[in-house]
Amino acid sequence: MLELYHGLASTCSKKVRMCLAEKGLAWESHLLNLQKFEQHDPAYLKLNPKGVVPTLVHDGKPVCESTAIIDYLEETFPEPSLSPADADGLRRMKEWEKWSDEVGYAAVYVPTWNKLSKPMAEKLSPEELEKVLAGVPTEERRSRWQTVATGGFGDAELNEAYAQMRQTFERLEESLADGPYLAGDTFSLGDIAMVPFVERMTDLKPELTGPAMYPKTHAWLARLAERPSWQDTFFFGGADARVGTVAAKLAV
């Protein structure tokens, strides 16, 4: 039995939802309301000590971290394959998975926290904020909440994020000159790993990531949007999971 603890607008949750859909796997949904801090519930922390989403539970055993989860699904349920058959394609796939973890995530988390979490955190009373911070299991996350509750991330952090967006789109454009997908001719975990972050960047900063500047990347996005898995990835349960929408803000 597969169970997924996930957030509606969470980029990392989208990676796993797309992989599950592409594999055609049945799974039980546990949609956490991140705005109500359900990810810090003690019962959930037993599955994921960091208090983040997603977490996959397979026959009672939890698997954490989105890239580790999609790799686990590929290894455990190898058909249909989401890996290129050739060594070069496999190398490229793994490089994009790593990029999603190290650069894609870094490019979106600062502007996303400023856009979604800052307005909510600033409404908390000092007592409410203290209670929230006490429930956050990691110092990194406590620091983020403290930052957005007291003015948010500044220009230096935002400009670094925007630089990483430009770097990502330039690399995407170069890679997609060699084929329709990030590993070449084969749709793979590399595409799954990157697309939630790329879609988020186009939502957060369209003036930096538009189709006039990056036509191959937007053609790639359009190809992926035609796949049946797109619906469960970005419109899970019929809800629009883009960061800029009211649905995303109220039902993460």
Q: Please, which residues have CB within 8 angstroms of residue 15's CB and are 6 or more apart in sequence?
A: 66, 67, 69, 70, 100, 192, 193, 196
Helix, strand, or coil here: 5? strand
Compute the average pLDDT of residues 202-207. 94
Over residues 45-99, the pLDDT tens digits come to 999 999 999 999 999 999 999 999 999 999 999 999 999 999 999 999 999 999 9
Q: Which CATH number fits domain 87-227: 1.10.3480.10, 2.60.40.10, 1.20.1050.10, 3.40.190.10?
A: 1.20.1050.10
pLDDT band for position 247 (cuts 50, 70, 90)? very low
Structural domain boundaries of the chain?
87-227
The yes-or-no verdict on residue 35 having pLDDT over 90 is no
Range in 13-22, 117-126, 177-186, 190-199 the model is least confident about: 117-126
- H or E element at residue 88: helix 87-99
Cα–Cα distance for residue pair 38/80, rounded to 1 Å: 34
Q: Which pLDDT belongs to residue 245?
A: 44
Compute the average pLDDT of residues 11-27. 98
Q: Please, which residues have CB within 8 angstroms of residue 23's CB and are 6 or more apart in sequence?
A: 73, 77, 80, 82
Sign of the Cα torsion 112, 195, 69, 3 reads positive
Average pLDDT, the chain: 92
Phi, psi of 76, deg, nearest 5: -80, -35
Q: At what angle do helices 11-23 and 105-112 cross, to 10 degrees?
A: 130
The C-alpha angle 146, 245, 28, rounded to 5 degrees, equals 85
Q: Which pLDDT belongs to residue 159?
A: 97
Over residues 119-131, the pLDDT tens digits come to 888 888 889 889 8
